[in-house]
Amino acid sequence: MLLSKYATKSPWLFRINTGSCNGCDVELATTALIPRFDVERLGCKYTGSPKHADIVLITGPVTARSENYLKRMLVEIPEPRVIVAIGICAISGGVFKDSYSIRGPVDKYVDVDVNVSGCPVRPQSILDGVAKAIEIWKEKIEQFHEG
């Protein structure tokens, strides 16, 4: 128990697209692939499995088609976790808000810890949001081990 308090692992990122136009997803790819905006310099790695995720990056408004997928993924992501809404569509529904197929913003389904606004979001903003998410994640881990 003492070792787990002081030796934390690097946070793993998992991305969920709940119906975005892919503008924010292109910018997320920029933070993963281009050395200038490399998210790995913050100590993060992307994972393909929600079961390994610590920080979840969600893009797009929740659509009728993605609603059940989002709910299934959220069940699989272990606590303590940090949810980051990427882009104005994930935060409020954006320009798609009143569309027949939009079920709502991400915070209708899960408590969002960090909002990163923009349309599309700039890579620098994504890095700032991930840095803030890492701080929140470390606090949640500390509380998790104490409780």
Q: What is the CATH number of the domain that holds 113?
A: 3.40.50.12280
Q: Examine residue 147 and state whether it is found in any structural domain, yes or no.
A: no
Q: Examine residue 3 and state whether it is found in any structural domain, yes or no.
A: no
pLDDT at residue 147, rounded to an integer: 67
Answering whether pTM is above 0.85, one says yes
Q: Examine residue 2 and state whether it is found in any structural domain, yes or no.
A: no
**Residue 47 predicted with pLDDT over 80:** yes
pLDDT class for 2, splitting at 50, 70, 90?
Answer: very low
pLDDT at residue 32, rounded to an integer: 73
Amino acid at 132: K
How many CA atoms lie within 13 Å of 112's alpha carbon, on the beta-carbon side? Answer: 21
* Tally of domains within the chain: 1
Q: Examine residue 37 and state whether it is found in any structural domain, yes or no.
A: yes
Q: Examine residue 83 and state whether it is found in any structural domain, yes or no.
A: yes
Mean pLDDT, to the nearest integer, of 74-83? 96
- The pLDDT > 70 percentage for the chain reads 93
**Residue 80 predicted with pLDDT over 90:** yes
Range of the domain at 117: 15-139
For 8-98, list the strands marked E by DSSP. Answer: 12-17, 45-46, 55-59, 62-63, 82-86
**Residue 81 predicted with pLDDT over 80:** yes
